[in-house]
Amino acid sequence: MLQIITDTADPLLAFVKDDPVRPEISKEFRVRGNRFVSALVEDQPRAMVCVSLHDFVPADVVDLEQDAAAPNTAIFYTIWSYQPGAGAELLRETVYSIRKRFPDIKYFVTLSPKTEMARRFHLKNGARVMRENSNTINYEYFDL
């Protein structure tokens, strides 16, 4: 089941301690403004992704601090899973949920580290390189 986390009191938010990509980002930051955490949950989380809504494509984590009054782009800035295949499933379900809840969101883009693991994951799941930045890569998803 997909759960959207927007409250710092949500017990699922404790699992962000397992974030291997951006562990330095606080729980509070992840659910403030236009940001939320999406989790695929059975008894325990199977996978989690952090999302930030914008009207531009961030090139760096610092850019995530800017809130947009009229966002049109969902940025997936960190994702991790506890089970094989759960990350891809979570992305599909999160995109579906965003399309229902935020009909003005038209673009689905990552703010990914420059790692081989990130490249393989995103390309395997249908993303294309949109832009390479100094410390990150933006992958864009079209058909999730």
CATH number of 26's domain: 3.40.630.150
Per-residue pLDDT of the chain (144 residues; tens, 9 = 90+): 999 999 999 999 999 999 999 999 999 999 999 999 999 999 999 999 999 999 999 999 999 999 899 999 999 999 999 999 999 999 999 999 999 999 999 999 999 999 999 999 999 999 999 999 999 999 999 877
- Length of the chain measured in residues: 144
Amino acid at 88: A
Confidence at residue 144, expressed as pLDDT on a 0 to 100 scale: 72
Q: How many domains does the chain have?
A: 1
Tell me how far apart the alpha carbons of residues 80 and 31 are, in angstroms, rounded to a whole number: 17
Q: What is the pTM of this model?
A: 0.95
Q: What is the extent of the structural domain holding 15?
A: 2-141
- C-beta separation of 2 from 94 below 8 A: yes
23: Cβ contacts below 8 Å, ≥ 6 apart = 17
Confidence at residue 75, expressed as pLDDT on a 0 to 100 scale: 98
